[in-house]
Amino acid sequence: MPLLSLSLARRFGPALWPLRALVAGGWLQESELDCLLRRAHPVLRLNRVFARVESRRWVADDMLALGLRTNGNAHGWRPGQHVRLYQELDGVRHGRSYSLLAAEVDGRIELAVKRQPGGRLSNGLLDRLEVGHVLELEPAQGELAWPSDAASVLLLAAGSGITPLLGLLRQALARGFSAPVTLLHYVRRRSQRAFSEELQALMRRHPNLQVRWAISGEAPLAYELMGRFRADHLAGWPAHSLLACGPHGFVAGVRDWWQALPRDGSLQLEAFTPPAPAVGIGTAVRLRFARSHRELPGSSAVNLLEQAESHGLRPPHGCRQGICAGCTCQLLAGSVRDLRTGAVTAGPGLPIRLCVSAPVGDVELEL
Ligand code: FES
């Protein structure tokens, strides 16, 4: 039985600043203090973010929305960002990034977990996580933002790409955004239309919002679109600002459509799967890892995270999808290609995300 309620534990957090100062000065060990704090409440920590599961709600056949309440260490989080969540399953610690649907000032957050074929953490959370369980989260990251000044907004989501976009949409509508908004959600089966009841209720309350679903694995009904993303799905919809989120192939198709014409509006894209590895177009390069004092053979077709790992290095990383920035590293010399966009970054001294960067020629990394 915790000594404090969660609300009290949250209020207690700011009073710990003298201990934080002593840890920062090397006078105390953070891990030892955390052991004591968790006795007062399982989420209480000096600096790390822990959260208690407060609710579970199925929002599609294969997607569960989780309501969590964090300790007082989650600062400045906002819907549309993503957090990396950790859970121990069968004695092994697993981590994965999920988008924030909500982030309130009282520490309540919402995220959604989709069942994945072979997804140990996602499926473990769906099947075993219960109200009252405690999870660790990393600080939220991500730059998706609502284009408040846009004359119209087009939101394109595939699969669980609906989660960051719905988080932003909820907040924008609640704040009175009144320009036209169109949301297309691409799913394979009708039963995968996550949050469809909430979206329909939002449409009833906000006449400026139109939501449509595109179904690729079943015959579509009236008012549904058929198949995967195609340019003709967007005929007649103005798009002064576009936000798209989904697997890499979907996001790449949206980007190509957007770039096919000159446009004034803004484009924001987020892919939650890594680009498919290029096959057969790699050339041999040299990889120099400055801190490890190693020079090794590499390929221009494979991301640098995988190449470093294949040589026994262990760069820090998170999502492996270019989202969390957990693999960011300095490019000391040479150029790399962003596997999502094709953009080339040339050193020296620029930060790159190893998991979505492939060397263009010989490179040197601060690793
Ligand atoms: S591991 Fe998340 S951005 Fe590379």
Domain map of the chain by residue range?
6-137, 153-271, 284-365
| Third-level CATH fold of 153-271 | Rossmann fold (3.40.50)
CB 49 within 8 A of CB 76: no
How many whole angstroms from 139 Cα to the centroid of ligand 1? 14
Q: Is the dihedral of CA 188, 157, 111, 140 positive or negative?
A: positive
Per-residue pLDDT band for 142 (boundaries 50, 70, 90) equals confident
User: Which of ligand 1's atoms lies nearest the C-alpha of 317?
Assistant: 1
Q: What is the tens place of the pLDDT at every residue in 7-50?
A: 888 988 888 999 999 999 999 999 999 999 999 999 999 999 99
CB 83 within 8 A of CB 97: yes
Select from 162, 100, 163, 93 the least CA-distant residue to 121.
Answer: 93
Of all residues in the chain, what percent are helix, strand and coil, respectively (each to 5)? 25, 35, 40
Domains 6-137 and 284-365 alike in fold: no
> What integer is the mean pLDDT of 99-123?
92
pLDDT number for residue 274:
67
How many whole angstroms from 325 Cα to the centroid of ligand 1? 5
How many whole angstroms from 215 Cα to the centroid of ligand 1? 30
How many whole angstroms from 269 Cα to the centroid of ligand 1? 16
Q: Please state which CATH number belongs to domain 284-365.
A: 3.10.20.30
Q: Please state which CATH number belongs to domain 6-137.
A: 2.40.30.10
pLDDT number for residue 36:
92
User: Which of ligand 1's atoms lies nearest the C-alpha of 305?
Assistant: 4
User: Which of ligand 1's atoms lies nearest the C-alpha of 353?
Assistant: 4
Question: Does the pLDDT at position 150 exceed 70?
Answer: yes
